[in-house]
Amino acid sequence: MVVVEPVVELVVDATNFVRACASSAQAYKTATLLKTLNVNALISGEIGVGKKTLARYILSEAPLFDGSDYEEILSALQSTKEIIIVNIENIPNLKKVIDLVLAQSVRLIATAKSSFYSEYIDEVFSITFDIPPLSQRPNDVKELTQIYIQEASKLFNIKDKINYEKVEPDLSLNSNSLKRQIMINTLLSDISEVEIMNIIENYLGNHIGSNNDYRDFLHLYEVPLIQAGLTKFKSQLQLADKLGLNRNTLRKKIADNKEYLQ
């Protein structure tokens, strides 16, 4: 089995994917080569690292199925010569699928989580890719951040330049969490008081209903106010003065909301 690593995430259009790191450039070369080879490949990695995008780049016209679509996969293997299966670890009877792939001479590009292992991997896949997480590719994160900022600014029609240099990127779900973070922060940068109140109203409308809701949801107001005040004034004494609170009262509120405050 040929093992090619590391392979980088493709989170944007396959012809314009981020290539800020050496591994990104290598990924493009490898993917382009695979487009010309009639071999099966397995792409593994965490959620949000671009496994499906890379698979689609290699087989742009092939039908795509999730591993949980077991019956649909079996049916498709009877009539197609190329197929993409994402989350192959979700297939309930992998041996049957692999046997059918080999018997029908179907070209297979599959994706799986990094921890996935099966005795059938070597039997069907000639090449494997393990895509590293974004946390290992800071240059790619910077470039993706700019791409997502442009997308968000266009989506929300925001003209002013937004600076994310001091914002710690949320890479918990790789590109998924990073894009979500930027979209939300961009939206909030231009949000009005009325829109904020509408968001809170919508949230409360879906959650209130007990006998102690006022106290239970008071933190939605207090935590942002205290957090913003502490960040701005750097002092509980100054913040208490600005809020018109007794210092002991502020300390109690901070203690009551310690699970939310940074």
pLDDT 10s digits, 156-211: 888 877 777 778 999 999 999 999 999 999 988 888 899 889 999 999 999 999 88
Detail the DSSP E strand segments found in the chain: 2-4, 41-45, 64-66, 82-86, 107-112, 127-131
DSSP output for 123-189: HH-SEEEEEPPGGG-HHHHHHHHHHHHHHHHHHTT--S----TTSPP--TTTHHHHHHHHHHHHHHT
Instruction: Check residue 89 and report its DSSP letter.
Output: G
Work out whether the CA dihedral 231, 236, 242, 244 comes out positive or negative.
Answer: positive
State the pLDDT confidence band at 17, using cuts at 50, 70 and 90. low
Q: What would the mean pLDDT of 224-251 be, rounded to a whole number?
A: 91
Whole-angstrom Cα distance, residue 13 to residue 22? 19
Q: Is the pLDDT of residue 102 over 90?
A: yes
Give the global pTM: 0.75
Q: What would the mean pLDDT of 46-74 be, rounded to a whole number?
A: 93
pLDDT at 16: 57
Judge whether 83 and 62 are in contact, CB under 8 Å. Answer: yes
Domain positions in the chain: 2-132, 133-190, 209-262
Neighbours of 36 (CB within 10 A): 8
pLDDT at 3: 39
CATH number of 2-132: 3.40.50.300
pLDDT at 12: 41
